Amino acid sequence: MENVKKCCANQQTSKTLLKAKEELRDIKGKEGALIPALHKIQSVYGYLPEEALMLVSEELDIPITQIYGVASFYSFFSLEPKGQHIISVCLGTACYVKGAQNILERLSSELGIEEGSTTEDGKFTLQATRCIGACGLAPVIMIDEKVYGKLSSHDIPKILREYK
């Protein structure tokens, strides 16, 4: 039983790896291909796992140290897996002056995690983001792709319940 499971899991990863390889094919010949490649990997895996970065290194012939340097420079890239739902709190200026900090604090206390981390059960990642262009509805948060606007901190528990 144990063995069977393991073998499936391996198959799973190699499938994703194949998909990643496939995605990289179009990019290979381009000038400045590294960042587009990292975007592709992140869209396949949701983050940048080591095995995929090794693949990028091989395919694009770029040393892994350089890839790590680039990946860690940009905040959009994540070297860690993220939660099932990503909660982004807009800390753009318009939201900030309308009390976005309180919203972030409330979320942080409701979820019991700091900004930038993931709940233990892997359900939520809480992160701050910049203007998402819904300033008219400030303060706003975005859970996955859905935007919630004109919030006050006591709306938070109700919104979280939708995802529990």
**Contacting residues toward ligand FES, per CB under 6 A:** 90, 92-95, 131-135, 138, 140
Q: 47, 38 in Cβ contact below 8 A?
A: no
Tokens standing for 158? 């109700």
Q: What's the rounded Cα separation, in Å, for the pair 71 and 123?
A: 24
Selection from ligand FES, another protein, none that 158 binds (CB < 5 to 8 A by kind) is: none
Block residue for tokens 């859905």: 146
Minimal distance, residue 13 CB to ligand FES, in Å:
37
Which x/- pattern over 89-128 shows residues binding another protein (rule: CB under 8 A)? --xxxxxxxx---x--xx--xx------------------
Selection from another protein, ligand FES, none that 115 binds (CB < 5 to 8 A by kind) is: none
Tokens standing for 76? 């959009």
Q: Which amino acid is at 144?
A: D
Residue 86's DSSP bridge partners are 125
* Nearer Cβ to another protein (8/136): 136
Tabulate helix, strand, coil % of the chain (nearest 5): 55, 10, 35
Only one of the segments 15-23, 31-39, 51-59, 115-123 lies at the binding site for another protein (rule: CB under 8 A); that segment is: 31-39
Block residue for tokens 């059960």: 121
The residues that touch another protein, with contacts defined as CB under 8 A, are 31-36, 38-39, 69-70, 73-77, 91-98, 102, 105-106, 109-110, 129-138, 140, 147, 149, 152-154
